């Protein structure tokens, strides 16, 4: 495949991933479809949501490269000049950095679990992260694989499922974006070294 066509395909493929990542991260600000936690984000919001892994990492830092990468692949699908392909490597590297950030934030958010209202070991109802701060109260098994533990969170309703699903979406989109941006770095390097594949008239 022509390096330009490959760049155009990658650029277009990144757009829906950016959109999905943005939407998933924005929805996370309303855990269990509740608006109360956003009024007190320091105590009631899962910290990784506030790190904006889906908005900044999988969103803006992937959108900017996507625009340039697609532009590099224009001119009827033929690859652009060597300078354009070289710049696409730099922009793809920015996309890689953003994807890694979003991916890492999502992994941490899933491992530590959501912030919710729960009954702690002293029988006091409090806001916190029960799956991270009180592991000894449960078992050594991760809460991700033990759905019976999910009922520990009393409010917002179904916040654990909400947390797992949305972080999984951001994790998936940033993971795919990471792969595509790495492919574009290699594609850009090939196009930069070998020149254009435009048929000579």
pLDDT at res. 50: 92
Give the predicted TM-score (pTM) of the model.
0.85
Helix (H/G/I), strand (E/B), else coil: 154: strand
Q: Determine the pLDDT at residue 139.
A: 53
Bridge partners of residue 155, in order along the sequence: 117
| More confident: 192 or 45 | 45
Q: What percent of the chain has pLDDT over 90?
A: 43
Q: What is the pLDDT of residues 76-87, one digit of tens each?
A: 444 456 777 888
pLDDT of residue 134: 64
Residue 199's pLDDT band, with cuts at 50, 70 and 90, is very low
Domain residue spans of the chain: 3-35+47-113+158-194
Q: What is the pLDDT of residue 176?
A: 96
Per-residue model confidence as pLDDT tens digits over 129-143: 888 876 555 556 678
Produce one character per residue of 28-56: b if its CB has 16 or more CB atoms within 10 Å, e if not: bbebbeeeebeeeeeebbbebbebbbbbb
Is the pLDDT at 75 greater than 60, yes or no? no
Handedness of CA 64, 66, 67, 68 (dihedral sign): positive
Annotate 70-138 with three-state secondary structure: HHHCCCCCCCCCHHHHHHHHHHHHHHHHHHHHHHHHHHHHHHHCCCEEEECCCCCEEEECHHHHCHHHC
Average pLDDT over residues 138-152: 76
Distance of CA 177 to the CA centre of its chain: 8
- State pLDDT tens for residues 165-183: 999 999 999 999 999 999 9
Average pLDDT over residues 92-119: 93
**How many residues belong to the chain?**
201
Highest mean pLDDT among 2-6, 17-21, 115-119: 17-21
């Amino acid at each position: 495949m022509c390096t330009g066509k490959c760049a155009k395909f990658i650029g277009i493929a990144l757009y829906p991933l950016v959109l999905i990542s943005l939407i998933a991260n924005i929805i996370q600000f309303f855990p269990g479809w509740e608006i109360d936690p956003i009024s007190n984000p320091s105590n009631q919001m899962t910290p990784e949501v506030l790190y904006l892994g889906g908005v900044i990492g999988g969103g803006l830092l992937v959108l900017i490269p996507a625009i340039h990468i697609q532009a590099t692949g224009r001119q009827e699908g033929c690859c652009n000049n060597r300078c354009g392909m070289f710049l696409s490597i730099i922009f793809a590297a920015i996309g890689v950095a953003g994807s890694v950030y979003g991916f890492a934030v999502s992994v941490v958010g899933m491992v530590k679990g959501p912030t919710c209202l729960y009954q702690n070991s002293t029988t006091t109802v409090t806001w916190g992260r029960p799956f991270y701060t009180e592991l000894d109260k449960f078992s050594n098994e991760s809460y991700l694989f033990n759905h019976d533990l999910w009922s520990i969170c009393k409010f917002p309703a179904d916040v654990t499922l909400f947390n797992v699903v949305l972080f999984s979406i951001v994790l998936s989109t940033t993971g795919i974006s990471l792969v595509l941006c790495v492919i574009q770095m290699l594609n850009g390097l090939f196009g930069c070294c070998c020149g254009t594949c435009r048929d000579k008239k």
